[in-house]
Structure 1
Amino acid sequence: MSNLFPVGRDFMNFGKNFFEDPFDHLLAHTANFNVDIREEENAYIVEADLPGMPKDSIQLKYEDNVLSIGATQEDGKDEKDEEGNYIRRERSTKSFNRQFLLKNVNEEKISAAFDNGVLTVTLPKKDSEGATPKQIEIK
């Protein structure tokens, strides 16, 4: 409750402190990863920054015009005494998920590469030549 009222140097942060979600600190480990999407003439290029993630912990799926990128990272730290008994044992798991709507993709030609912590997904567009726009009758 005491953080709801500004004191001295905290006056400029009054709005942030008053309207802040009280559960924000619990979600600190569920941050998302950065993604860049470029549309080129023949393809969409998606680059996702996943530093420190092993390639086998990344899940990549394209279904119903939605590209889904997910990753799970597990960390552990064990400290033992001379007899091999645990003094401290900590474990944490972080999950990351992002989804993007990308239409007109040739699903059979999607490719992906993971190099130096950057996942690059190339989603070639379907050929739109010969496709004629559908006229819609107004009633």
Structure 2
Amino acid sequence: MASNLTRFNPFGDLASVDTWRDFEDIFRRVPVVGSLAGNTPPSIRLDVKETEEAYQVSAEIPGINKEDVHVSVDGNVVSIRVESRRAQEEKDGDTVLRSERYYGVQTRRFSLAQDIDDAQASAKCENGVLELVLPKKKGGAGAKKLEIR
């Protein structure tokens, strides 16, 4: 009677599964979208410097034409809107093997401590860097600091 007993192994069925191969297959089946696919440009990165008279903003926008950059100022809020278009075509002679197009819009909006004199503000775009000079409004004291009693 004791010779008919078999040892139970709860993981016995898993021995036939190749874990790493199945794990890799999961990622092969998932479509890669967004920044992982390389289709989305990085977000707009900023450097903001303040002087007594103005704010100086440098924004990285590599590969973008200045015609596709839009900047607006409303009080102390600055908005930067960038449109990017890319087209890529791979050919073998006259036969098109692959053709891809991308269109995207990125925005960056931030507020400053003081209102901006939008009549004196200026913008320049060279070598993938947007430079803004945003003079402070005269007489504007910015945010009022309250004294705590």
TM-score, normalisation: structure 2: 0.62
Aligned length: 108
Task: Give the Cα–Cα distance (whole angstroms) in 2 for the partners of residues 43 and 64 of structure 1.
Answer: 14
Name the counterpart of 1:27.
34
Runs of 4 or more above 4 Å deviation:
none
Q: 1:64 to 1:104 in 2, by over 3 A?
A: closer
Secondary structure at the aligned position of 2:119 is classed as helix
User: Percent identity of the aligned residues?
Assistant: 33
The answer to whether the Cα contact below 8 Å between 1:60 and 1:68 also exists between their aligned partners in 2 is yes
Task: Give the Cα–Cα distance (whole angstroms) in 2 for the partners of residues 74 and 30 of structure 1.
Answer: 10
How big is the shift at 1:68? 0.6
Task: Give the Cα–Cα distance (whole angstroms) in 2 for the partners of residues 56 and 26 of structure 1.
Answer: 27
Q: 1:53 to 1:67 in 2, by over 3 A?
A: same
The answer to whether the Cα contact below 8 Å between 1:49 and 1:119 also exists between their aligned partners in 2 is yes
The answer to whether the Cα contact below 8 Å between 1:35 and 1:49 also exists between their aligned partners in 2 is yes
The answer to whether the Cα contact below 8 Å between 1:71 and 1:95 also exists between their aligned partners in 2 is yes
Task: Give the Cα–Cα distance (whole angstroms) in 1 for the partners of residues 75 and 115 of structure 2.
Answer: 11
How big is the shift at 1:87? 2.5
Task: Give the Cα–Cα distance (whole angstroms) in 2 for the partners of residues 51 and 81 of structure 1.
Answer: 30
- RMSD of aligned alpha carbons: 2.6
The answer to whether the Cα contact below 8 Å between 1:106 and 1:123 also exists between their aligned partners in 2 is yes
Letter in 1 for 2:124: A
The answer to whether the Cα contact below 8 Å between 1:43 and 1:125 also exists between their aligned partners in 2 is yes
Range with greater deviation from structure 2 (31-40 or 86-95): 86-95
TM-score, normalisation: structure 1: 0.66
* Per-residue deviation, residues 75-120 of structure 1 (Å, max 9, x unmatched): 11123454x4532211112322100112321111111111221111
Q: 1:27 to 1:88 in 2, by over 3 A?
A: closer
Name the counterpart of 2:4.
none
Alignment of 1:3-18 (within 5 A): none
Unaligned runs of 5+ in 2: 1-31
Task: Give the Cα–Cα distance (whole angstroms) in 2 for the partners of residues 66 and 48 of structure 1.
Answer: 15
Task: Give the Cα–Cα distance (whole angstroms) in 1 for the partners of residues 86 and 62 of structure 2.
Answer: 14
Secondary structure at the aligned position of 1:108 is classed as coil
Task: Give the Cα–Cα distance (whole angstroms) in 1 for the partners of residues 75 and 51 of structure 2.
Answer: 21
Name the counterpart of 1:120.
131
